[in-house]
Chains A and B, each alone.
Chain A
Amino acid sequence: MKFTEDHEWLKTEGDVVIVGITEHASEQLGDVVFVELPDVGDTVEKGDEICVIESVKAASDILAPLGGEIVEINEDLADNPGLVNEDPLGKAWFFKMKLADASALDGFMDEAAYKDFIG
């Protein structure tokens, strides 16, 4: 699993990457009440705002960690946004994407580096 400075996690599964937010991010957000996901088939650039997470406190964006195509989204989050707090690293994955350049993953932090990053 790799981690971004925007508190997302990335997991490789065959030729796609699964993206979610970290436990740290979910704690900071507070109770999540709404998630807006991109559409399957969307082509995104690194840094695009592609998801919105609304908690009881505020709205936050999820940025595309890399460029590529969205191939699957987690429909369960629409009905049960609380999953983001219950199981951020598992059931609450947000989307799967096919990367334009798979080698771009190498630049992200591993778990130890991410733990240092959040202190």
Chain B
Amino acid sequence: MSELKRTPLYDLHLELGAKMVPFAGYEMPVQYPLGVMKEHLHTRAKAGLFDVSHMGQVIVPGEGAAEAFEALVPVSLMGLKEGRQRYAMFTDENGGILDDLMVANRGDHLFVVVNAACKEDDIAHMRAHLESVEELTDRALLALQGPAAEGVLEALVPGTAKMRFMDVGVYHWNGTELWISRSGYTGEDGYEISVPADRAVEFARKLLADEAVEPIGLGARDSLRLEAGLCLYGHDIDTTTTPVEGNIAWAIQKVRRKGGEREGGFPGADRILSELENGPSRLRLGLRPEGRAPMREGVEIFAEAEGGDPIGRVTSGGFGPSIEAPMAMAYLPAGTEEGTTVYGEVRGKRLPAKVVPMPFRPATYKR
């Protein structure tokens, strides 16, 4: 096994009492002494600080970057204004998803953030299709999420409170350039902040010095994103699911769809455009188990309480500390209506669950 990598905040995590686990080739904090449940609730009540430096940060330079990048994603990037960010996904020839990512227009270049587990493949994929691709290995990435995030960051970095959801900008803090976006992975208002690696600990300490801020591990990051109905790559979406099946087709703008000005022109367009027109055969939907027993990844879903073949499978599931109930995402036949009762087989017993809209908890973005 290859050696696990560490982020610039590794020593700080240990100092804060984190329990470290291997994740996507990195040693990452899964929880701090507060514990998953309280970390989750603290983020929703005040503000949580997450180290997401394991994620890939990439610059694609050049005026023509947006146009060239559109060959890799079904998203309109030429329509993305300077200072704005969009959710996108790399697709393959079959319409499957290679990774999901964030792309920001920063004027003379695109700034791209990709998942840690996929970053090497993503960078190779981009290099194969784009003239110039620069991976940044000298910057950490922090996320500050929750209702108190705005006040905490504004006090340190004036001007950031004015940003709207999915705005990006360059700000200055003590002579250091911060690249900030108003976004995140929790369903809360908040920011993601790219900071030079050699100033990351100092900046994180400044944020943690505010009594509203607690460090949050990967455990709560997962329950927060699940309540927000957000996909986890490799679980809820992967190369076997298309963006339409994955229920993230909202990210595909009209201009890239059938009859649009820049229709298609991305890998797997035939299948994806056809599914947008005619509907997919299955869809990622939300489930609320009726009892307290969580339905976790891999649980098979049946239409009936007894007999029959499975109609789907849970891709992510757990307990939602804010909704105080179990929740899950599953691929089910398209046309399964909200309110339908289905049955998840947990330890040999079929337990009822209702098909519900996502997010499980409404987002609080500052639009």
Q: Chain A: residues with CB nearer than 8 A to chain B?
A: 30-31, 33-34, 36, 52, 54, 56-59, 78, 81
Contact = CB atoms under 8 A, between A and B. Distances in A.
Interface size class of B (residues with CB under 8 A): 10 to 19
Contacts of A36: 293, 347
B223 A56 contact: yes
Contacts of B311: none
Contacts of A34: 291-294, 319, 326
Main secondary structure of the interface of B (DSSP, over half): mixed
A56 B37 CA distance: 7
Interface in B14-59: 31, 35-38, 40
Interface of B: 31, 35-38, 40, 219, 223, 291-294, 296, 318-319, 321, 326, 347
B36 A81 contact: no
Contacts of B31: 30
Given A33-B294, A34-B294, 6 more contacts: A34-B293, A34-B326, A36-B347, A52-B293, A56-B219, A58-B296
Nearest to A58: B296
A52 B294 contact: no
Contacts of A59: 294, 296
B319 A30 contact: no
Contacts of B35: 30-31
Given A52-B347, A54-B319, A56-B223, A30 B292 contact: no
Contacts of A52: 293, 347
A54 B293 contact: yes
B36 A30 contact: yes
A57 B223 CA distance: 9
B219 A81 contact: no
A81 B291 CA distance: 13
Contacts of A56: 36-37, 40, 219, 223, 318-319, 321
Nearest to A59: B296
A87 B326 CA distance: 23
A118 B321 CA distance: 30
Nearest to B38: A31
B219 A57 contact: yes
